[in-house]
Structure 1
Amino acid sequence: MKFLFPIKRLLLRSAALVTVTLATASCSWLQSLDTDPTIDWSADKLYTEARTALDDSNWTQAKDYYQKLEARFPFGQYAQQAQIELIYANWKDGDAPGAVQAADRFLRSYPNHPNSDYVMYLKALATLNETDSWFNILAAEDLAERDANASREAFDIFKELTLRFPESRFAPEARRRMHALVLAQAEHELKTAQYYYVRHAYVAAIERAQRVVREFQNTPMRDDALELIAACYDELKMTDLAADTRRIIEANKGKVRKEPAR
């Protein structure tokens, strides 16, 4: 029975500690309510201040006001517009995943909203923002693949925007960005192939260059990829394949390429 007393004292101390912690947290929460200057603001006041912060590029402050507006007045006249502007504030504040999630939530809730095209446009921009720099050559294969996936996702969002809202004022910019994405991704694949070539990894270089020819055949990078493939075959002493590749290059000369598309 002697061993029960230390355990009992320990349990009592733990219970007391939990009680003090809860009391402290409760006091802190109540104090935060007392010190929150927005506690009595109307929906109109919250939206006005949020929009002012947004216009002043004070993204963090704008996010705070929009979140409070959405929480306190979820069915008010500013609710939907606040959600849209919160997506933009998240993206500008560097929270690309938060912007994508907020955009998805909005599009699920309001699929036929008049500003759905704008929300899709913001989602695509935020998706691109999640990458580190997929325009540059990357040594790590897994990182390169992740970046390629992000660019494809953004491309698909832009494409959906142009198909669903062909007359949208964001459609021309979406098409321009689709064009740029295809060119940039083709260049990324070519540079990756060149990276392997200079390191004498000729088989890997051929595989990446063939991807350029196969997936981006209407881009200017196609012929450079074919030249690289031929050079790799030369290094591997595969003269027949090198000759075949150069015949393809000659056959392609003078042919007019279409606009990059996927």
Structure 2
Amino acid sequence: MKPVFPIALLLALSFPAAAQQLSPSNPFAQPSTLPYHAPPFDRIHSSDYAPALDAGLQEQRADIQRIANDPAAPSFANTLVAMERAGPLLRRTIYAFYAVSGANTDDTLQRLREAFATKYAASRNALYLDPKLFARVRTLYQQRGRLKLDAQSKRLLEYTYQKFILSGANLSESDKATFARLNEEEAQLSARFSNLLVNATKAGSFIISRPEDLEGLSDGEKATYAAAAKARGMEGKWLISLRNTTQQPALGSLRRLPSAGCCV
């Protein structure tokens, strides 16, 4: 029979004891000064995400532990509001990371997406399976009728409580450990599938070698496809990527079918 370890111990082992120090030169080290706190993409490189995400996870975990271990009685401000504000570094980094890795990925981001998936799942497990934190949220939920919250705050409390329940907060210790393991496994497999899908889409692109085969396309489309081919080391040709598996907009404009054997 396998030993059952308390979920708190299993989650603690997922995070280093020492806080990760993020270089001040990292674009995510400080909040963006751009309108609406938009990420400064002109200064961000693919190599900047990994250290910022790791530091952000540790910052968030430290924030959550402070909330869970707060000796003061739980209140909306010291629990719900504090949770909403926890981990600002992770929040500003992860939004940019998933936006870029989903729209303009590269090999570095693809590897990171798969590696980070398990870490992020462990972080969410640490939050939603923390018995002390859940006890504070549950106390507020049970008192919600007496807290005199406005509609928005009441909805946040109800949503947060439900999120804890759906995330396994009421499970036994052994079931929590199993649930946490499955969460991490599912996260890693999902990220791996996303990467495989991206790679398969790239592999399904096709090349046009003769200018006359471009008849029907606009100058802008031709330039886009030429740039895509150049980025793949095929300068002087045109690369048309798959949009999805059944519909290719470019084929509706081309006046002649691409030559046989053009697929890559």
Give the TM bin, normalised by the shorter chain: 0.3 to 0.5
Larger Rg: 1 or 2? 1
With a CA cutoff of 8 Å and minimum separation of 6, indicate the structure with the bigger relative contact order: 2
